Chain A
Amino acid sequence: MKQTSFFGRLRRSQIFWPLVAWVLILVFDAIVEPGFFKLGIIEDPVYGKHLYGNLVDIFNNGAPLMLVAIGMTLVIATGGVDLSVGAVIAISAAMGAVLINPALGNQLITNEILTRNATNTPLPLIILATLAAGTVCGLWNGFLVSRAGIQPMVATLILMVAGRGIAQLITNGQIMTIYYTPYFWFGNGYILGLPVSIFIVAGVLLLAWVLVRKTAIGLFIESVGINAKSTYYSGINERNVKLLAYTFCGFCGAIAGLILSSYVHSADGNNNGLNYELDAILAVVMGGTLMTGGRFSLFASVIGAVVIWTFTVTVYSLGVPANALLAAKAVLVLLVILLYSDYTRRLMNRVFERGGSQHEAAH
């Protein structure tokens, strides 16, 4: 009997388990900390009336991760990985900060100049440059993987490390504080009471969704990840598919860098986006996309990112420092990979031998 009910389709789709995980964490929060869900409306002198509360913070602060998860999903779907996302965030943030700051070069800098609410470059140009910087990084990775034939892990590892050096180079080794208030809007502003970053994420998600599901690109990406040879024999230029995936990932990293540096009012080459690649991989893996490539779901990865961020906020409010999470997340990634792997599937088949064949017929 074919189950086409809503719940049935939900149950089988990729977003089911991340949603369940999120609900579980929220339930835990509700029990342990009843005030967790408190939402209120607050009147802010600069940004006007807006929603306020833990949930809002989760989505606002988690926006960069959600963006990176979107880009990372496409890369992993082609059977690769992008370890440089954190560095791309740093580079993009640095690019934005350096274009704003009027105190470039060796001129004598007064404190007044440094903290002036002004920019050297018009804002639209800054945004353009920031996005371009990240996209070029993605292009670079894409070229190394698709044209030079270097393994994705090695190719992106190079930018992961060298990229931090580049970010430092751009900011001349300093942590640059930003004083130009219009720039803050991306990470701190509100539209219709909700954070701007949510709209940005929604926009990018929509763009990505249109790109992969309303064109043939999504199909090609999945095909390349499953069987690159058959895909090539069917007349698809699989090298360009990979190139696109990495470039888009760089683009997403750039936007993430923009939002992040806007939120913290600064650019720090060493710490911006630190360990983001771990979170991004975890989000994608939790969203049910296999590390070996193939079928993917952007929504599931975004929900995965929300789960991670909710978890982080929960743990924070319990008084545990962020770095303590690193170890737990690492174990979690491996566990989730194992859960979805062939090994487990065969194990489950053996354990549920009787139920297995019936389940197949139910398709």
Chain B
Amino acid sequence: MNEPINVVKMLGITKSFPGVMALDDVDFTLRKGEIHALVGENGAGKTTLIKVLTGVEQPDTGTIQLDDKLVQVRSPEHSQELGISTVYQEVNLCTNISVAENIMLGREPRRFGSINWSKMNDLARNAINRLSIDVDVNQPLGNYSVAIQQMVAITRALEILSAKVLILDEPTSSLDIHETNLLFDVMRKLQNEGIGIIFITHFLDQVYEIADRITVLRNGKLVGTYETGSLPRVELVAKMLGRSLTELDAMTRVRSRQEDTGEKQQLVEAKGLGLARSLEPVDLELYASEVLGVAGLLGSGRTEMAGLIFGIDAPDSGSLVVDGEEVTKFSPLESLKRGIALCPEDRKAEGIVGDLTVRENIILALQARYGWLKFLSMQRQNELADKYIQLLGIVTPSPEQRVSNLSGGNQQKVILARWLATNPKVLILDEPTRGVDVGAKTEIQRLVMQLSEEGKSCVFISSELEEVLRVSDRVAVLRDRKKVAEYSGDVDDKTLIQAMAGEA
């Protein structure tokens, strides 16, 4: 009986950072010649596990074995020497130089100290042909599509002597079907040569198409490793979200309101709203006094949809009508004036203004609407700051504290306060409870429901199904940058998961 050979064996890996346990006693094995998918939602620990394997981070505890020999991976360079090659989601190559150079840079053949171009081109051509990709090695890399660039990145990764392990981190995020198939052909070829491939992705279709085994991580812990053939898709999604099958059977309903008071005022109507490479055309309606939940896995287009409604990006198809008026100018200020607010997903880059105080961050958007000259009086500012610090339970020594000194959860609350202060008609919240403690999570959910009772329209985007269901009147499901379903009335999370997984 052929025992599968373990190329990589990671046992009991634990890694923590200040305030967060990124990996908690995780085991992971990779066999020779297998394609092993690594899946999990945001914060599951996939990236950290790879960083440990490639020497970017050192584990607190646990061991790593390569070919059954205990090793300590000291640095990325060292991991390369050990035969581990990594290709990241953003193609880490240089588009202004030739394909050949990208493959050989750092190891160019030299003659009398100067670069031997013809030899370099020959070596590159051989490497490319090994993967059967049709590319002219003389052309600048930027002339080729992202898919080809990714292949070149893989070629470079493999050119390093005796590569045994290839790690592909979200390689297909920017590829279309044709390009993905190209990539899969290459992967299968490498598989046949005995190279072990770790395939990190959130596209479940692709996992089922190419992977031999699947490892699921959740909140830093190992959920399990399974043979692809014996794990139905619905179960996979359930495991990623942390539910057991028996839990699924216990139905949780969407909160439905008894008194459906007749005509609901339509505040926003999006028809065929879309943006190339971000979101396929989507129809969406938002009504006053209700909460629309948006469910979907990472990368399903939720943030992009929010950005289009709020005016960060202008769509290249479809129309957006707010309060009966069609939107022609897309900008955050315009949306603010129309009463739309967006609490963005990436609070560090798009949300907080770090060196400003809590008070200043809270009044910022409201001030933007008042304009440049009508400065909110200090009394009013302090009133607002105190009001929301209390309302949302923001933990800060004073309103004059720099926002960057606050914890992540409190920063999130500050941004939420900023938008609440503008008294919007439509409030879009993109992952508002991420990184927020349990008590605050409940507060925010309660607040959202209260806001809808006051007449607002709320859009609640979250990967936590439980809170989406608890809070929403209707739920829209996005998958692979498309809106695939919309439910109201009695819907349970099992149905949602099926829609998210692709079996409806």
Contact = CB atoms under 8 A, between A and B. Distances in A.
Q: Which of B344, B367, B368, B418 has the most CB of A within 10 A?
A: B368
B372 A295 contact: no
Interface residues of B, number: 32
B375 interface: yes
Contact of B360 (A219, A229, A237): A219
Given A216-B375, A234-B418, A237-B333, A295 B355 contact: yes
A235 interface: yes
A235 B333 contact: yes
B344 A216 contact: no
Contacts of A214: 375
B356 A234 contact: no
A216 B363 CA distance: 11
B347 to A, nearest CB: 9
A362 B374 CA distance: 35
Interface size class on chain A is 20 to 34
B18 interface: no
A230 B370 contact: no
Contact of A222 (B335, B356, B401): B356
B11 interface: no
Interface string B303-326: 000000000100000000000000
A217 interface: yes
A363 interface: yes
Contacts of A194: none
A219 B401 CA distance: 16
A232 B332 contact: yes
Contacts of A231: 353, 364
A215 B372 CA distance: 6
Contacts of B352: 227, 230
B353 A216 contact: no
Contacts of B504: none
B349 A230 contact: yes
B373 A233 contact: no
A216 B333 CA distance: 15
A294 interface: yes
Contacts of B418: 234
B152 interface: no
B372 A223 contact: no
A59 interface: no
Contacts of B370: 216
Contacts of A226: 353-356
A166 interface: no
Contacts of A215: 372-375
Contacts of A25: none
B312 A223 contact: no
A230 B403 CA distance: 13
Q: Which of B342, B354, B355 has the most CB of A within 10 A?
A: B355
B312 A233 contact: yes
Contact of A234 (B364, B372, B375): B364
B130 interface: no
A254 B37 CA distance: 65
B477 to A, nearest CB: 26
Given A233-B342, A236-B333, A216 B371 contact: yes
Contacts of B367: 216, 219-220
B365 interface: yes
20 contacts: A215-B373, A216-B371, A216-B374, A217-B372, A219-B356, A219-B375, A220-B367, A223-B360, A227-B349, A230-B351, A232-B332, A233-B332, A233-B342, A234-B353, A234-B365, A235-B335, A235-B336, A235-B368, A236-B333, A294-B355
Interface of B: 312, 332-333, 335-336, 342, 344, 349-356, 360, 364-365, 367-376, 397-398, 401, 418
Given A219-B360, A233-B342, A234-B365, 13 more contacts: A216-B375, A216-B376, A219-B364, A222-B355, A226-B355, A227-B352, A231-B353, A233-B312, A233-B344, A234-B418, A235-B332, A235-B335, A236-B333
